[in-house]
Amino acid sequence: MLSSKKEQITIESNIEERNTKEPVCIKNSERFEEMNESGTENKEEKQYLDLVREIIETGEERIDRTGTGTVSVFAPPQLRFDLSSSFPLITTKKVFFRAIVEELLFFVRGETDATILQNKGVKIWDGNGSREYLDSIGLFDRKENDLGPVYGWQWRHFGAKYTSSDADYTGKGYDQLQRVIDTIKNNPSDRRMIISAWNPADMHLMALPPCHMFAQFYVTKPNTKDAELSCQFYQRSCDMGLGVPFNIASYALLTIMIAYVTNLKPGKLIYCMGDAHVYSDHIEALKVQLERVPYEFPRLKIRKHVERIEDFSYEDFEVEGYKSYKKISMKMSV
């Protein structure tokens, strides 16, 4: 946990999922008969799994942009996570933590060249940065792996004119992220601590419009030793199999990072969804995941003191006590 001297923080977390239009039956699983080792139920991961199951059983079948097909519900109940004692990294399948960290740092720095991620072994933007894909959406003159003014660029340079991933945007546009950090430090009761990646004027330049698009921050008990930073974020399009576990951990990490550089404790993460869907080719894999009983969430430790949020690196974070099941492969729809 963070003290006034920014001592190392520790944190924990959980998660789950489900299947097709018929009721999803839990069969004999790897450890279905057991609770997790502490004898407690991971209720935070269970809320995710319960939502996956509900979508598979009751969701509307829909045609989607990718042509894969989904089952979908609109505006399901919020998912809520307590960041004060655990880090919400799902346990019912192995999650690639490095990819979560490196992508978030990529956003925090306002970067848009997916080659930066590729060079660190993170391939999650390869499909949307490929020559074939960029040509398919009319970005014929765009350099391969130049994603355009996506996510973090909007966080750091909202309103600036985007030209290419090679350009220097220092001091250009409106730096929403730094404004939130400064406001938390100087006026923590403010109701305008908001970051938006949704910029309609730039949509035609983006390789992919933002799925998670809006976040608001809130300080409880400001100006006291018990002050905590919470975050509520909205996501318009929620891929329950691949994307949502990633997004939960990413916004948890963002909240923890902002809390650290503003000398606050991490509080709550609240996840609001629009179109929450399961891709048709993920259903069988999610059935396997739904048979698994989640372990307790791990804890997150910050290993090195930093002053600025841009100064964090992957090596500064350590996940302690992460116990999970094996990886479950699911295809990404582009």
Active site residues: 211
**What separation, in Å, do the N-terminal and C-terminal C-alpha atoms of the chain show?**
39
d(C-alpha 177, C-alpha 186), whole Å? 14
In degrees and rounded to multiples of 5, residue 99 shows phi and psi of -65, -40
Q: Which residue type is seen at 246?
A: F
Q: How far is CA 38 from CA 29, 50, 90, 116, 128, in A?
A: 19, 21, 17, 40, 42
Secondary structure letter of residue 149 according to DSSP: S
Query: What SS3 state is found at 125?
Result: coil
Exposed e or buried b per residue across 260-296, where buried means at least 16 C-beta atoms within 10 angstroms of its C-beta: bbbebbbbbbbbbbbbbbbbbebbebbbbbbbbbbbb
- Write the CB contacts of 121 (distance below 8 Å, at least 6 apart in sequence): 98
Yes or no: say if 13 and 86 are a contact pair by the CB < 8 Å rule.
yes
Yes or no: say if 247 and 208 are a contact pair by the CB < 8 Å rule.
no
d(C-alpha 227, C-alpha 316), whole Å? 24
- Write the CB contacts of 191 (distance below 8 Å, at least 6 apart in sequence): none
**How many CB atoms are located within 10 Å of the residue 185 CB?**
12
**Helical ranges in 59-164 per DSSP H:** 97-108, 115-118, 126-129, 131-136, 151-157
Q: How far is CA 32 from CA 13, 36, 290, in A?
A: 19, 10, 10
Nearest alpha carbon to residue 240 among 92, 33, 4, 56: 56
